[in-house]
Amino acid sequence: MALTPEQVAKFRYDGYLYPVPALSPDQLAECNAGLARFEEWLGKPVNQDDWRWRSAAYVFLPWLDRLVRHPRILDAVESVIGPDILVFTSTFFIKEAHARPLPPGTRTRRISVSSRTSM
C-alpha cells in the first residue's frame, strides 16, 4: 500500500506516521504469537533482556523476517525513501500497556529506515 502524497508530507514534517494499516488481523496475531514465543524462550519480556536479543532479531525469528519483507510495509517505506530498501538492523522498543509513563521528551519508539543507491 503506497502512501498518499499527503501521508508522505506528514511523515516528513512529523518524523512519524500512523496508523498505516499493513497487516491483516491474522498476520497481526501471528506477530503477537511470535513475540510471545520469543519472550517465553527468553524467560522475560524482550525489553528487559540482553541487548543481543533485541537487535537484528529478523535474522533468527522467521515471523519477524516475514514482517520486514511484507509487501504492504515495503510499499509504504518505498513511498518515503524509494525502491532501494535495506534492513540493516531492527530493535525492539516495547512500552507495555498500562506501564508507567516516561518523562516528557523521552522517545519511546525509534524507527530507522536506510536506503542504498545502486553503483
Residue ranges making up the domain that contains 57: 5-115
Q: Which three-class secondary structure state does DSSP give residue 87?
A: coil
pLDDT tier, 105 (very low <50, low <70, confident <90, very high otherwise): low
Cell numbers at 69, concatenated: 519483507
Per-residue pLDDT tens over the stretch 76-100: 999 999 999 999 888 887 877 787 7
The predicted-structure confidence for 30-46, as pLDDT tens digits, reads as follows: 999 999 999 999 999 88
The number of CA neighbours under 13 Å toward the Cβ of 44 is: 7
Residues in the chain: 119
| Predicted confidence (pLDDT) per residue in 50-85, tens digit | 888 888 899 999 999 999 999 999 999 999 999 999
The pLDDT value given to residue 106: 56
Q: Is the pLDDT higher at 52 or at 24?
A: 24
Looking at the structure of the chain, the number of domains it has is 1
Report the interhelical angle of 5-14 vs 71-81 (nearest 10°): 70
Q: Which residues contact 106 (CB under 8 A, 6 or more apart)?
A: none
